[in-house]
Amino acid sequence: GTKRGAGKIEVAEPRNKLSHPPSSLPTDAVLYSGPFPFYRRPSQLGYFSLDAERQYHGDARALRYYSPPPTNGQGPNFDLRDGYPNRYQPRDEEVREGLDHLLRWLLEHRGQLEGGPGWLAGAIVTWRGHLTKLLTTPYEQQDGWQLAASRFQGTLYLSEVETLAARAQRLARPPLLRELTYMGYKFEQYMCADKPGGSPDPSGEVNTNVAFCSVLRSRLGNHPLLFAGEVDCTDPQAASPQPPTCYVELKTSKEMHSPGQWRSFYRHKLLKWWAQSFLPGVPNVVAGFRTPEGFVCSLKTFPTMQMFEHVRNDRDGWNPSVCMNFCAAFLSFAQNTVVQDDPRLVHLFSWEPGSPVTVSVHRDAPHAFLPTWYVEAMTQ
Ligand code: 0WD
Ligand code: CA
């Protein structure tokens, strides 16, 4: 420590840097244009599966294999409403899992993480879906979000909290929306086999407890990232068979008939598809376009790296640089705000469209999200 009055000139700490981090973060797209930031090519660190009872398994049992219909003859004719509601086992959405499954994977693999000693202590741990929401924030005009953040052993953990509006919407979800959700999962069943080279079996149940999750490492600017994301299937015939480049994301969307409908699809839906698949390095999104009666009669592959081309010359389009620069700015904001290392302390970042991101501070229940079993095992 430097003693006062020992002849040294004392330089004042610049204010607003760490000692006084800003208390809000603007989200306007214009503030985040500029060059695309560094984003490390995502690499897969591991994976896990959740079974029909939502039980964790440290293996790939829930991974399915891409098995599109033969391209000869006519197009597909998938009835997405088949099996609804009798063969639908939806996950219980009242169960708040937070980061639990990802934390279990991390606990079991913390000794074998690459990146050198201390890599985890400098990293941000979260779900891919949370990062997707950050990427699309500068363009989002409907849904806000809340992200809870805790620092523990250096690592910054980010876990989404359902907003009151989202909860109200979920509880009041009209039956037609519930069926639409089913149809998305049904499409996966028509497009995936349980074994490489096998054929899809659409006669079974659709159980949305089942999931295969890839755990990935990347870095955005100077933020090392460890995140997990649900993967729909792997393509046994992929040109590059190594994960994540063999993975395929499946989506359904309304059939489009006018240039105006395509324009709107490129501006809104493709942004979400791009953000979700770019983060884990999933190279292709295969879309099934459904008729008003719920039949998929055409398929189209959208390479993730070509999605931006559809809006590059659109004044009302989105820009990947804005998405990534905003995400990097948010991660810096969070890193500078959550200074104390304490798993029971939560900084809650809240955002509503048209406003900046704001922060509130909480301790313990109901906001703390790092489970005791995790904190205790990591403290050993
Ligand atoms: O409890 C929560 N609030 C959340 C839980 C929010 C986000 C994710 N999760 C968990 C779930 O355990 C889920 O299995 O994460 C897993 C998926 O994580 P993710 O990949 O980070 O999520 P995201 O990219 O938002 O969604 C990927 C897929 C979705 O596919 P589509 O094509 O619709 O984007 O994961 C599914 C869905 O099939 N999915 C969920 N499954 C169960 N519970 C959930 C959820 N809450 N959210 C998305
Ligand atoms: Ca999907």
Query: 290 with 5: CB under 8 angstroms?
Result: no
The CA angle 95-134-271, to the nearest 5 degrees, is: 105
Segment 53-111, tens digit of pLDDT: 999 999 999 999 999 999 887 899 999 999 999 999 999 999 999 999 999 999 999 99
Closest CA to 138 of 354, 304, 314, 328: 354
Instruction: Tell me whether 0.90 is exceeded by the ipTM.
Output: yes
Phi, psi of 73, deg, nearest 5: 65, -145
Helix pair angle (100-109, 372-379), 10° resolution: 20
Length, in residues, of the chain = 380
Is residue 14 over pLDDT 80?
A: no
Print the SS3 string covering 304-331: HHHHHHHCCCCCCCCCHHHHHHHHHHHH
Q: What six digits make up the tokens of 100?
A: 């639990």
Centre of ligand 1 from the C-alpha of residue 149, in Å: 19
Residue 6 has pLDDT above 80, yes or no: no
Which atom in ligand 1 lies closest to the alpha carbon of residue 211? Answer: 14
Instruction: Tell me which residue has tokens 């009055």.
Output: 5
% of residues, the chain, pLDDT over 70? 95
Ligand 1, atom 25, residue with closest C-alpha:
129
Do the bridges between strand 43-50 and strand 56-57 make them parallel or antiparallel, or are there none, so unpaired? antiparallel
Q: Does residue 78 contact residue 88 with C-beta atoms inside 8 Å?
A: no
Give mean pLDDT, residues 2-7.
36
Residues 62 and 139: beta-carbon distance below 8 Å: no
* Distance, CA of 270 to CA of 290 (rounded, Å): 16
**Which ligand has its closest atom nearest to the C-alpha of 92?**
1
**pLDDT (tens digit, 9 = 90+) per residue, 126-183?**
999 999 999 999 999 999 999 999 999 999 999 999 999 999 999 999 999 999 999 9
Mean pLDDT of 262-287: 99
Measured in angstroms, how far is the CA atom of residue 339 from the centroid of ligand 1? 29
Instruction: Show the ligand 1 pocket: residues with CB < 6 angstroms.
Output: 91, 96-97, 101, 127-129, 132, 160, 184, 208, 211, 229-230, 251, 276
Residues 6+ apart with CB under 8 A from 123: 115, 155, 156, 224, 225, 226
Ligand 1 center–CA 213 separation, angstroms: 10
DSSP string, 210-230: -EEEEEEEEEETTEEEEEEEE
Nearest ligand 1 atom, CA 251? 32
Q: Give the ligand whose atoms come closest to the C-alpha of residue 180.
A: 1
Atom of ligand 1 nearest to the CA of 127: 21
Sign of the torsion angle spanned by Cα atoms 239, 245, 246, 247: negative
| Locus of tokens 């959405």 | 93
- Cα(49)–Cα(57) distance, rounded to whole angstroms? 5
CA of 131 to the centre of ligand 2 (A): 16
Q: Is residue 11 predicted with pLDDT exceeding 60?
A: no
